[in-house]
Amino acid sequence: MANTSENTAPQVGTQIPDDRLQKGNDARSAVSDAQYEGPSEADITEFIDIAQQLEKELTSIVIGQERVVRELLLALLSGGHVLLEGVPGLGKTLLVRTLSEALSLKFARIQFTPDLMPADIVGTTIVSEQSDNNSKGSKRVFSFQAGPIFANIVLADEINRATPKTQSALLEGMQERTVSVGDTTRPLPKPFFVLATQNPLEMEGTYALPEAQLDRFLLKIMVRFPNPSDLLQIIDSTVGIQTNQAKQVASGEQLLKLIETAKAVPVATHLKEYAVRLLLATHPEREEAPEKVRSFVRYGASPRGLQAMIMTAKVRALLESRFNVSQEDIREVALPALRHRLILNFDGLAEGITPEEVIEGVIGEI
């Protein structure tokens, strides 16, 4: 079975060798200028440089989570939202805050609690007093008080502590990048990312996210417990007088340009077909579905899962200094792109089957 991003830690902060970049140049040179429609060499060089700096900055502050940082960058440079799952205290909130500092973007944190209301997220219309020069008095007017969702990076902290009604307040913003209050629709700032953290569902006081909202997260990233050597580093970097502050690596405008560069990476037809086969193999009613899928899956991944695999595979190819996507790229991103889009049936839940086991089985057979 092929390794997935779940168990393969990437190299962090390393310089891309010139010979690897040259291989990409040679591959592109084999195609005529009239046929090549991918990003320019200058755009790719800028992409790699900024992405490496950003990865290095994040891993220097968030210790022991190199895989998480890499997968977060895959989603960020794809323009998608991220769901981070792990027990409290593993640095999920620190990671998101550090990201906003490294990009110098407007940051807002929403602490989800059972009594949080939708208006606390999107904002509300209030009545205020306004001076009236004509009557030399004042008059009452309606004005919109924007909520914390009007930021570039929104941290939805412990999102599954709130009720489903409140969780759904993020739906329009995540999909349409707009917020509707009353009869007025307002655009959200660009770039706009929702980075949500959640505790494992078996913990007390949590509510499962609706399937419609889960599907809007490009990737679901599992945050694992650090190993002993990482724990020692955490002590040295946090329990002392010296504090680590992230340096600005790029701006919001540069980030938007990097996203457009990633979108321009070409994908061969046979690789698109491979991604389609992977997606369809998660559906139990399909003939190509493995036995574990037919036995334990109720609903397979949606077309958004296919979009997530292709887009993040493009970003991974650029991070590896390649001008086009390989099958390995798709296999490596399949797990975080699909794990939250599978719905297990009763038998799967009763036997303790995880979506990760199912997806790894699909990758191994397709």
Q: Which domains can be identified in the chain, with CATH numbers?
A: 1-36+265-366 (1.10.8.80), 41-113+150-177+184-264 (3.40.50.300)
Question: Tell me, what's the pLDDT at 32?
Answer: 40
Between CA 138 and CA 30 the distance in angstroms is 73
**What's the mean pLDDT in 9-21?**
43
pLDDT tens digits, residue range 134-170?
Answer: 666 667 777 888 889 999 999 999 898 888 888 888 8
pLDDT tens digits, residue range 259-283?
Answer: 999 999 999 999 999 999 999 999 9
Question: What count of residues does the chain have?
Answer: 366
Q: What letter represents residue 165's amino acid?
A: K
Q: For tokens 């409140």, name the residue.
A: 166
Question: Tell me, what's the pLDDT at 242?
Answer: 65
Q: What letter represents residue 132's amino acid?
A: D
Q: Strand 123-132 relative to strand 178-181: parallel, antiparallel, unpaired?
A: unpaired
Between CA 206 and CA 163 the distance in angstroms is 9
Position with higher pLDDT, 200 vs 76: 76
H runs (alpha helix) in the chain: 18-29, 41-61, 66-76, 92-103, 119-122, 164-167, 171-176, 211-214, 228-238, 252-263, 269-280, 291-296, 303-319, 327-338, 346-350, 355-365
Q: For tokens 């940051």, name the residue.
A: 107
Question: Tell me, what's the pLDDT at 6?
Answer: 40
Question: Tell me, what's the pLDDT at 137?
Answer: 63
Number of C-beta neighbours around residue 327 at 10 A? 14
Q: What is the pTM of this model?
A: 0.83
Question: Tell me, what's the pLDDT at 322?
Answer: 85
Between CA 331 and CA 333 the distance in angstroms is 6
pLDDT tens digits, residue range 273-328?
Answer: 999 999 999 999 998 899 999 999 999 999 999 999 999 999 999 998 888 899 99
Between CA 154 and CA 217 the distance in angstroms is 13
First to last CA, the chain: 10
The answer to whether 338 and 312 have CB atoms below 8 angstroms apart is: no
